[in-house]
Amino acid sequence: MDFLPQGGIFAMLAQATIVVKGVLCLLAGMSLWSWTIIFWKIISLGRARTLILKGNKIMEEADSLSAGLTAISKTPASPLNRIGTAAVKEFRVLEKSAVTPSHKRRLIKDTLRRILRQKVSSEMKKLTSSLSFLATCANGAPFIGLFGTVWGIMNSFHAIGSAKSAALAAVAPGISEALIATAIGLGVAIPATIAYNFFLGVLNGIETEMVNFAGSFLNRVEREVSWVEPVPKAAPARETGQSAEDDAPSGQE
């Protein structure tokens, strides 16, 4: 087009106002950081999902809770290893508590359920870190770009008034550079929106698998832990040669 500056889009952006340039730089920074988060999340969430699925399969095939946790512990980076370790540690503490077996059973089950829920929430908090920035980009980038567009158009209308001419050639460069801000804003927001929704789906699946592991842990504790009160030790046997009369009460004289 004849009214575009020579040199293409970069030459046109070079002639933009300071405000539009600032908006474009902000959008460029948001885009760079959002793509960094996207690639990082693809790797980290994919690895976490693989480890969790593997850990659940190990737990299902294990002969006992102890054997399953031992196999999972060979992968320290697995979220299930951290969840299981915290639950076992709490179980060992509760096991030594001086309460009756009936009360101890309820106490252990309730406490394990709370600690497992807390650890699942803690792991989910780690996995969802930085997703809020993607949501911010998805919601805010179009409006930031629109602000740059509005400012550029205002500047173009001011140029029309100064030149006292409404010819398209006089205002087209300013309007074109202003519209680029909106286009770049959408270019930042669209990938961030798609990635955010995709990661939410992956995280929901991961949370479900961790909850399934917690349920399997509780079920195995219920089946495998003995809740019977230990039988008290028998009194020591008497020495040989002691007659029964020694123990009998003496008669009155």
Decide: 99 and 107 in contact? Cβ < 8 Å: yes
Give residue 105's pLDDT: 77
Asked whether residue 109 is domain-assigned, the answer is: yes
What is the span of the domain harbouring residue 180? 20-225
pTM: 0.76
Asked if the model's pLDDT at residue 116 lies above 70, the reply is yes
Mean residue pLDDT across the chain: 81
CA 145 – CA 182 distance, rounded (Å): 4
CA 209 – CA 103 distance, rounded (Å): 30
Asked whether residue 13 is domain-assigned, the answer is: no
pLDDT digits (tens, 9 = 90+) for 162-205: 666 656 565 666 677 778 888 899 999 999 999 999 999 999 99
- Written as six digits, the tokens of 226 are 């003995």
Give residue 231's pLDDT: 47
Q: How many domains does the chain have?
A: 1
Asked whether residue 120 is domain-assigned, the answer is: yes
Decide: 114 and 193 in contact? Cβ < 8 Å: no
Q: Phi, psi at residue 242, to the nearest 5°?
A: -80, 125
Please give the residue that has the higher pLDDT: either 119 or 159: 119
Asked whether residue 243 is domain-assigned, the answer is: no
pLDDT digits (tens, 9 = 90+) for 15-38: 667 888 888 899 999 999 999 999
CA 56 – CA 213 distance, rounded (Å): 6
Asked if the model's pLDDT at residue 252 lies above 50, the reply is no
Asked whether residue 242 is domain-assigned, the answer is: no
CA 199 – CA 89 distance, rounded (Å): 32
